[in-house]
Amino acid sequence: MKKFILILLASIMASSFAACDSAADNDENGNIENPETAIVETESQPIEIGASAATVSDFFPILPDVRWRYEGNDVTFAATNDVSFGYINGAKAQRRVSAGGMATTEIIDASEGKVEIIHGDNMYYYYDDITYAQKFMSIVILKEPLEMGAKWLTAEDAQSEITSVNAPVTVPAGEFSALEVTTTYSNGYVDKYYYAKGVGLVKSVCDSGAGRIVSELADVLKGEAAAETISAGFYWPNVTEGSVERIEKDLLFTTDANFPKQFSDAMKEPPSIDYTPLLTPNATINDITVDWTTKTAKIDISGDYLKEINVGDGLQTKILQCLTNTIGNFYGVDEVLITIDQKPYENGAAAFEPGETIPVEKEDQKLEEKE
């Protein structure tokens, strides 16, 4: 657990996820000696912005539809990383870092004068909202007061200190006067992080044991430019050939993305007249939820679907399986529960008991490349 926390801490704070791997051997005790007494009082004044003292939100802004792009000097870990907030729910935010086909997700709590990572998964590739996840860790990135010499316990084996309130930093994205945070690990490694007002993390310099790994802010994309294009596999009944085919379509992942609406729209537009739509004209997906303990997704569809669907039992069964495969493979689950306005699906031969699911078919599908 200790090694996992340190790896996650170094990678998250550098916004490169494993770019700053400070998880080497710890000291004899594995902890900072008397960490509470190491946090000292300081007589210096907090940074002033206008008429009020600076807050963590000034230097760690949680913004919708913004993508921070970082470049680094390590081709293995800190090459190019994109950082964005997928969901913002009050003081909690879900941050996603994408790098070289890999993705890491963590939940940040920016309340009570500190920025704290409370949930992290460095192998989480999915796009659903998990801001409700229970706290199982504590990594404090920033903590008020933001003043010279202020210290706090970052994690069980790491302590941070504000070592400058106006450090000059030049990166590809520009020149900044930054807050410098120095993090010291019990094994002697030292990392430095630079936060600029209104921008966030602009640079990190991490001790890997074999040398320094540097990650720098290269660009800040906003609005449509910040959206992430996701290729999703949609399964369609081919009425001409009597087969089921998987064809790729693009979805857009923005902050608080409305995937039920995107799936609803896409499922009404088959690739050609040879394929049957997965939803009827006025039907919509009310909600999509995922239960990761059972690896089950639930799709709730509006009642218009049963009013408008007019196909035989065989084709209806194929449509339901295609709905299951599309949602199930997108979220990486094993089963899908389909309901109509929160009630069990029941239409002709397709009648399901409460809680009855459909297994996701993940193999032996005919694949077609999107033209």
Nearest Cα residue to 89 out of 118, 125, 121? 118
Which has more pLDDT, 191 or 99? Answer: 191
Scored b (16 or more CB within 10 A) or e, 166-196 reads ebebebebeebebbbbbbbbbbebebbbbbb
Given a contact cutoff of 8 angstroms between Cβ atoms, the answer to whether 233 and 326 are in contact is: yes
The Cα 181–Cα 169 span in angstroms is 13
Range 354-362 contact pairs with CB under 8 angstroms and sequence separation of 24 or more: 357/296, 358/320, 358/321, 358/324, 359/324, 359/334, 359/335, 360/324, 360/325, 360/328, 360/329, 360/333, 360/334, 360/335, 360/336, 361/321, 361/324, 361/325, 362/325, 362/328, 362/329
Q: Which residue has the tokens 């996650």?
A: 8
pLDDT, tens only, 161-205: 999 999 999 999 999 999 999 999 998 899 999 999 999 999 999
Is the CATH number 2.40.360 carried by domain 2-225? yes
The yes-or-no verdict on residue 46 having pLDDT over 70 is no
Please report, for the chain, the start and end positions of each structural domain, with discontinuous segments joined by +.
2-225, 227-368
Alpha-carbon distance values, 183 to 28, 177, 188, 298, 360 (Å): 19, 19, 10, 43, 46
The yes-or-no verdict on residue 309 having pLDDT over 80 is yes
The yes-or-no verdict on residue 322 having pLDDT over 50 is yes
Confidence of residue 74 (pLDDT cuts 50, 70, 90): low
pLDDT of residue 168: 97
The yes-or-no verdict on residue 32 having pLDDT over 60 is no
Of these ranges, 26-40, 117-131, 339-353, the one predicted with the greatest mean pLDDT is: 339-353
The Cα 179–Cα 143 span in angstroms is 12
End-to-end CA distance of the chain: 46
pLDDT of residue 106: 92
Mean pLDDT of all residues in the chain?
84
Nearest Cα residue to 206 out of 216, 192, 188? 192
Chain centroid to Cα 359, Å, comes to 27
pLDDT of residue 312: 92
| pTM for the predicted model, two decimal places | 0.78
**3-class SS of residue 163:** strand
